[in-house]
Each structure stands twice: as C-alpha cells, then as structure tokens.
Structure 1
Amino acid sequence: MISPLIQKLLRRDELSVREKAVLGELLQPPIVIPAGSDIVRQHSSPQYSTLILDGFAARYVMLMNGSRQITELNVPGDFVDLHSLMMSPMDHGVVALTTCPVARSPHEGLRRLTETEPHLTRLLWMDTLIDAAVHRQWIAGLGRRTALARLAHLLCELYLRLEIVHRAGRGRMELPLSQAVLADVLGLSEVHVNRSIAQLRSAELVKWTGRAIEICDWDDLVRQAEFDPTYLRLTRAPV
C-alpha cells in the first residue's frame, strides 16, 4: 500500500525491514478522494496527515476574490500535509486534481514516531524540507523565468519525481492535467500555456499527446529550463 513512500525514502537513504513495517502501521486503510475534492481545506485543523498513493494533487492558496494560486503539485508518495502536525490551522488547502487513493496517518502516531524513531523522523523531516525547496524554485520561476522556461522546468521536475516512484521512465510520463490547471500552476494564461506547449513541440523537445508526454531531448529541455535537480535531493546519503 505504501510502496510509493518507501520508494521515495529509499532514494534518499536506506530503510530497515522494521522501519518499513513501522511506516505501514502508521497508516489507516486507504480511501479514495474524487477529482476536484479537497483533501485538506484551507484554515482547517486536521488531526492526521495524508499520503497520496496514486494520482495528482495540488497545494493551493485561495484569495479573497476567489482566485486560486497552485503552489506545488503532489504525486504518489507525497505526504501532502505532514507539516500540519506542527502548524495548525492550515494556511493553504490541498485539492485532488485526479481521483486520488490516499492513506491517513493520525497525528498521535506521528508524534510517537518522533519520540521512538529518530531515523524515520529525520527522513520525514527531509521530505518537508524538499517541499520548501520546491516552493523556492516555483517562486523563482514565477518571478524570473519565461513562460517557456517555466513549463520546461515543471516537466523536468515532475519527470524526476515520478521516476522515483516508478510512474515515469524511458523519457515517458503521463500528466493528466488540463491546460487550465497548468495555467494555475505556472501563473500564466491558458493561451500562454498552449503557446509554450507548441514551442516545445516545434523544437522537438517533447511529444505531447493528450496526457502522454515523451521527452525527446532531455539535455536540451534541461538547458531550456535552466534546471538544476539539486533541490530534489536525489542522491542517497545517510540522514
């Protein structure tokens, strides 16, 4: 059930059989969140943290005028609100962009883990630090990158994050998000998103058909995005 989380943590450090079992015992039976439904509501005070088992979700901030800014995409293996253990009420919401099977971990169990499992605590702490690093990259993109570079950077990031949890490989991934959602993610109009996709296609950097994306030239896509994966911490090292 929790294999995406295990796969992600193993990319950063080793896990013992006992530690894998401890993580499994934290989680309640899976439930399914329909697309478009909130997983966590802005200003709520959840008593559990939620792990995405499959699908795509998004952190968002809703402004008083009703407009929404997506601040991060969540993929399988992500705890979307691990920080709610310490920060409540939530200053943002999390919405399911597709149908999302999820598993919840009551905060009581997470608190016990911090007292009894220092290695797992550090790994989960690193997970929240990587979330913060993603936010920094997105802020830099919104402020300084061109529309084309923003989209290229997003594709590079998502490909590597999905590859870790075996949802991407050999240059291929699925991105079941509408151009309206991508516009929210990138801080662009749908017209600019459509134009940027067309530019990537015409430069033969990607083949993009429906939800299926094939990256044809990874090195050129990285150059276009000025993408440096350091912030994703993909190298295994003792934590």
Structure 2
Amino acid sequence: MNAETYLPDTLMIRKLGSLFPLDEEERQALRDLPVQVARLKPDQSVVQIGDRPRQCCLVLAGLTCVYKLSYEGRRQIMALHVPGDMPDLQSLHLEVMDSSIASLSPCTVGFIQHADLRRMCERHLRLASALWRETLVDASIYREWLLSIGQRDAYTRMAHLLCELMVRLKAVGLAEEDTFDLPMSQHELADVIGISAVHVSRTLQALRADGLVQSRKMKVTILDWEKLKQAGEFDPLYLHLRRGEA
C-alpha cells in the first residue's frame, strides 16, 4: 500500500491507534486538524538545530531522518521516521530544536500548527496522552539504537534495523507481506548504523548470502523472518505497539 493513498488524518489515526486505543470522537478530532501538505526533494531540510518551529511535521510518504553533525561535519542519523510519524513532536514543548530533520527520499509531509495541536489536546485529553506516548516510544527507540551502536556488531545492527522497519511499516499498513520500500543509499545506511558505506555493502551481501533477505531497487524482501529476528537480536517490545500490531 502506497502512503499517497492515505489522507493525513488516516495516517495519524493508524499510527496513534497502533500505540493507543482511540474512540470515534478522537478519530474525528484528528480528521478535523488543519494540515498544510508539502512535497520535499531528497536531502531537503524540514527543521534545523536552533530553529524555533511553530508547527509539527507529519510524514505522509517517504522517509525522513533526525540527525546531528560532528564538528568535522560527520553525520550521525539518530532516528528514521516512516509515514504516520511526527518526528518533531517534541517541539510542542521544547522551544528550540536540538537536532535537525531532513528528507532521505522524495517525501510528502503535512505541517500542523502548534496552536491547532494544543487546542485539540485541551479538548481531548486522551489524545494528549496518545501524543505523549508517541514521544515516549521515540525515546524507547533511541535507547534501542544506542544499544545497537554500542554493543552490536554491524551484521546484527543491520538485521535489527530491517526488522524494526518492517514492524513499523506494517503497523501503518505500508509493508506488503514480507516486502517494504527502503529508499536509502548505502552512505545513508552507514550514517544510521555507524559503519562505512563499504562495510554496509558487505553486511547486506552477508545477509543475502545467509538467505535472510533480498534487496533490489530500494526494496527489501525478508526471506526468513525468524532467523532475521535472531540475527538482529530483535524483540519488538521497545516499540510498545498494541497487541496484534507487533
């Protein structure tokens, strides 16, 4: 299923509903949010360190990343966001951005004004809890990625990342059986898992040789889910999906 077939409110409902039970009144409140849709080219900035945004970004199609640069200009990608995610939701409460967000692929995003989100949260306290839960899940993912960078080898990191993306995309209906889009270059994958692009190529080749995945033209097919989970030390607990979504 292509994210372009979903309206913004549909993706928000699917994402928040995967984390938190929503009733019809709450779904309608999400449908009523004004959303300004924009299309981004690859490597286009959404928000940068030091910015003071007055709106939040909802990913509608494509892939965005949260990143920071070292003093030497080396990039560390600290989070990936798929359709349905709001990568800068913390800007509702943190006035100044402490990381940057950019598109990795051609993206469609929706901008929702902070004032509109705050009004919705004041009228629907459970939706405020749902958005808070989304930021807490983001923090949980950060913790899991820190473990990967610090203690897992490249093969395990890559297997874990592929498992995570499969589960997150399935939760919003954007993975077809065992196949999902991965519109990222080897250099971008290197910035995620903290190795060189050459090492990324070798790692993917090893996963293919072991019969765990196929990758072709920005698509990944998982051939043996259980073995890939084992290879990646993957337990979806940290994604905190509702029962039946993981």
Q: Give the TM-score normalised by the residue count of structure 1.
A: 0.95
* Shift, 1:28, TM fit: 2.2
The answer as to 2:108 corresponding to 1:101 is: yes
Conserved? CA contact 2:36–2:112, under 8 Å: no
Q: Give per-residue Cα distances to partners, 1:170-219, cap 9 Å, x unaligned.
A: 11111011000000011010111011101100100011112121101100
Shift of 1:10: 1.8
Kept after mapping to 2: 8 A contact 1:26/1:106: no
Question: TM-score, normalised on structure 2?
Answer: 0.93
- Equivalent residue in structure 1 for 2:154, among 122, 147, 150: 147
2:15 aligned partner, one-letter code? K
Give the corresponding residue for 1:226: 233
Q: Is 1:91 matched up with 2:95?
A: no
Aligned-residue Cα RMSD (Å) equals 1.3
Encode CA deviations 1:14-38: one digit per residue, 9 max, x unaligned: 3223212211322323111221111
Q: Determine the structure 1 residue equivalent to 2:4.
A: none
Q: Which residue of 2 aligns with 1:135?
A: 142
CA distance in 1, matches of 2:194, 2:208: 21
Give, in angstroms, the shift of residue 236 of structure 1: 4.5
CA contact (8 A) 1:30 1:104 kept: yes
Q: Secondary structure at the match of 1:59?
A: strand
Alpha-carbon contact 2:19-2:240 (below 8 Å) kept = yes
Q: Which runs of 5+ in 1 are unaligned?
A: none
What residue in structure 2 maps to residue 26 of structure 1?
Answer: 33
Letter paired with 1:228: D
1:112 and 1:33 map into 2 onto residues whose CA distance is 28
Per-residue CA distance 1:88-144 (angstroms, 9 max, x = gap): 210000000111111111111222223221111111111000100110011100000
Contact 1:12 1:236 in 2 (8 A): no
Structure 1 counterpart of 2:146, which letter? I
Deviations 1:216-236 (A, max 9, x none): 110000001111100111224
> Of the candidates 189, 203, 206, which is equivalent to residue 196 of structure 2?
189
2:19·2:133 contact (CA, 8 Å) conserved in 1? no
**Closer, same or farther in 2 for the Cα pair 1:153/1:220, shift >3 Å?**
same
The percent identity for this pair of structures is 38
Contact 2:213 2:224 in 1 (8 A): yes
Do residues 61 (structure 1) and 56 (structure 2) align? no
- Aligned residue number for residue 129 of structure 2: 122
One-letter identity of the residue aligned with 1:104: F
- Distance (Å, rounded) in 2 between the aligned partners of 1:20 and 1:114: 13
Paired residues of 2:79 and 2:142 also in contact (CA < 8 A): yes
1:27–1:103 Cα contact (<8 Å) kept: no
3-state DSSP of counterpart to 2:220? strand
SS of residue matched to 2:43: coil
Match of 1:201 in 2: 208
Gap regions ≥5 residues in structure 2: 1-6
Residue 40, structure 1, aligned to residue 47, structure 2: yes
8 Å Cα contact 2:38/2:108 also seen in 1: yes
Q: Which amino acid aligns with 1:234?
A: L
Aligned counterparts of 1:180 and 1:44: Cα–Cα separation in 2: 26
* Contact 2:19 2:134 (8 Å CA) reproduced: no
- Look up the SS of the partner of 1:53 in the other structure: strand
Distance 2:37 2:24 in 1: 22
**Aligned partners of 2:212 and 2:22: how far apart in 1?**
37
Size of the alignment, in residue pairs?
237
Structure 1 CA distance for aligned equivalents of residues 131 and 220 of structure 2 = 30
Distance between the aligned counterparts of 2:12 and 2:133, measured in 1?
13
Structure 1 position 64, deviation (Å): 2.4
Give the secondary structure class of the aligned counterpart of 1:173.
strand
